[in-house]
Amino acid sequence: MKKLLATVALALMSQPAFAEDAPRWSLAIHGGAGTLDPKAMTPEKRAAYEADLQRALDAGSKILAEGGAAMDAIKAAIVIMEDSPLFNAGKGAVFTWDGTNELDASIMDGRDRSAGAVAGVKTVKNPILLADTVRTHSEHVFLVGKGAEDFAVSKGFAVTPPEYFATQARREALERLKAERLSALDVDHKFGTVGAVALDQSGNMAAGTSTGGMTGKRWGRVGDAPVIGAGTYADNRACAVSATGWGEYFLRVGVAHEICARLRVQRETLPRQMGIGDPHRSPTPMSHYYQLLAISDQSAADAVMADVASLGGDGGVILVTPEGHAIFSFNTTGMYRGRATSAGVNEVAIFGGEEKASMTPDH
């Protein structure tokens, strides 16, 4: 018995283990968070968003279900949303004050915490793929502007004409912002940044985020999305996170890293607090441990989002955990989102509280 407890404790300490032997995977995606009036959402508009979210979710899920890598799954999901004109990333990105589309993206591998990011690029069709090439084919983490574009060309990326990214709806949002002296929050409600996080069957996690930023941005403004630790973070010991919202606040809180740090500490301290592996205490059922972990993970994400709100910011996050839970937390009326897991969860949602599946641990 002692030996069994010691083995369980060791497994928990070295790598947050699955409760079952069955391979598990998990994927969550978002297409931005913000203020949206449910009445303003026509059934056609809703169906179009849901269809693209579902396509992204399916592309990532297929890779994970077949035993592919978390990194490949998030890239597949994000590329689909970058290519959709509905989202504020790639095609359909918002306009800067000067009438251009400047794209930011970041990606991180939870295995070795290798990371890549780009900001202010105007000629790369899928910025998430460029961010990944920075990660894998440069000795840097973060490249910006013309330098990032030169790097892209040197690595064989095609130069995409800037007109490709422009859409009429986003152009009108800029015109309204200028004519009515509105803020970005009034015209695009911050909806549209995209992101994905995944856990694969080997226990590896990855996170990525891609955006056009905020309508009317000037002076080379960069938000949280391409900043490792703010908009994106992945660490196999804790979680993979992608954020969306009012970037300035997410930068100040360091949202993605803050959430991962809290989850990591929980996994370092909870087993001991619960007496797991302690031969002098009666054994804690592992199901209790996993249940407590799932509740504490959601609370940690909610607490960090409450911190963002306390400063005056809003938005949301998606995360997956080593145990395979896909978690959402947002303090806006809606977040375009979806999640799928090996346990059969598969759903997309827009407004708060629309999830059908319970993520209560099934361990």
Q: Which residues are catalytic?
A: 193
Q: 320, 285, 284, 283: which is closest to 301 by C-alpha?
A: 320
Contact between 244 and ligand ASP by CB under 6 A: the answer reads yes
User: What does the alpha-carbon distance between residue 194 and residue 171 come to, in Å, rounded to a whole number?
Assistant: 19
Residue 62 beta carbon to ligand ASP: minimum distance, rounded to whole angstroms: 26
User: What does the alpha-carbon distance between residue 239 and residue 322 come to, in Å, rounded to a whole number?
Assistant: 6
Residue among 204 and 329 whose Cβ is closer to ligand ASP: 329
Q: Binding residue for ligand ASP (CB under 6 A) from 118, 121, 129, 225?
A: 225
Contact between 193 and ligand ASP by CB under 6 A: the answer reads yes
Number of Cβ within 10 Å of residue 296's Cβ equals 16
Pairing of strands 205-211, 232-235: unpaired
Binding mask 25-64 for ligand ASP (x = CB under 6 A): -------x--------------------------------
**Residue 26: both structure tokens together:** 């998990």
| Residue nearest to ligand ASP as judged by C-beta position | 247
Residue span binding ligand ASP (CB under 6 A) among the ranges 50-58, 114-122, 239-247, 279-287 = 239-247
The burial class, CB within 10 Å (0-12 / 13-18 / 19+), for 307 is: middle
Residues 6+ apart with CB under 8 A from 231: 106, 195, 209, 211, 223, 224, 225, 242, 243, 244, 247, 250, 255, 256
Residue among 69 and 214 whose Cβ is closer to ligand ASP: 214
Residue 159 beta carbon to ligand ASP: minimum distance, rounded to whole angstroms: 24
Q: Binding residue for ligand ASP (CB under 6 A) from 92, 247, 313, 322?
A: 247
Residue among 290 and 330 whose Cβ is closer to ligand ASP: 330
Q: Binding residue for ligand ASP (CB under 6 A) from 211, 236, 242, 329?
A: 211
User: What does the alpha-carbon distance between residue 359 and residue 11 come to, in Å, rounded to a whole number?
Assistant: 23
Q: Binding residue for ligand ASP (CB under 6 A) from 16, 68, 110, 223?
A: 223
Q: Binding residue for ligand ASP (CB under 6 A) from 70, 214, 241, 308?
A: 214
User: What does the alpha-carbon distance between residue 206 and residue 244 come to, in Å, rounded to a whole number?
Assistant: 16
Residue among 213 and 216 whose Cβ is closer to ligand ASP: 213
**Residue 155: both structure tokens together:** 């690595």
Residue span binding ligand ASP (CB under 6 A) among the ranges 21-29, 70-78, 223-231, 331-339 = 223-231
Q: Binding residue for ligand ASP (CB under 6 A) from 16, 116, 213, 216?
A: 213
Q: 299, 287, 229, 317: which is closest to 263 by C-alpha?
A: 299
